[in-house]
């Protein structure tokens, strides 16, 4: 279960999500990059050594919730088993949304 951030629509919020399932080698990071870009979010997405994908994002709360919904779907070739999210975490400041390693 996740709790919602406490921000007004005009305020920025942050989230960190760990996505488990078949999410590496299926275009998942580039799917996240596309969706986050369309939503005007800033942050990063990266593969982790344990086979999960980590997403850190900053932006308006409603847009982050739309990203979160997309994370649960993924691209057609992915099989998302679980998305764990933390709201209000400190993330690295970025100007865009980038794939990192």
Pairing of strands 53-60, 42-47: antiparallel
Q: Does residue 34 carry a catalytic annotation?
A: no
Query: At 46, phi and psi to the nearest 5?
Result: -155, 150
Report the percent of the chain where pLDDT is more than 70: 90
Specify the pTM: 0.87
Task: Kindly name the residue from 29, 42, 58, 63 that is annotated as catalytic.
Answer: 29
Domains of the chain by range and CATH? Answer: 12-90 (3.30.70.100)
The predicted structure's pLDDT at residue 10: 56
The predicted structure's pLDDT at residue 55: 98
Q: Does residue 42 carry a catalytic annotation?
A: no
Q: How far apart are CA 17 and CA 44, in angstroms?
A: 11
| 1-41: pLDDT as tens digits | 444 555 444 578 999 999 999 999 999 999 999 999 999 99
- Rounded average pLDDT over 67-74: 98
């Amino acid at each position: 279960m996740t709790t919602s951030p406490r921000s007004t629509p005009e305020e920025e919020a942050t989230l960190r999500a760990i996505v488990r399932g078949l999410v590496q080698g299926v275009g998942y990071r580039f799917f996240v990059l596309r969706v986050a870009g369309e939503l005007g979010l800033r942050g990063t997405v990266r593969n982790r050594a344990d086979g999960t994908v980590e997403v850190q994002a900053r932006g308006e709360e409603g847009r982050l919730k739309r990203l979160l919904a997309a994370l649960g779907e993924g691209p057609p070739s992915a099989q998302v088993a679980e998305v764990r999210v933390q709201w209000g975490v400190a993330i690295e400041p970025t100007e865009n949304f980038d794939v990192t390693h």
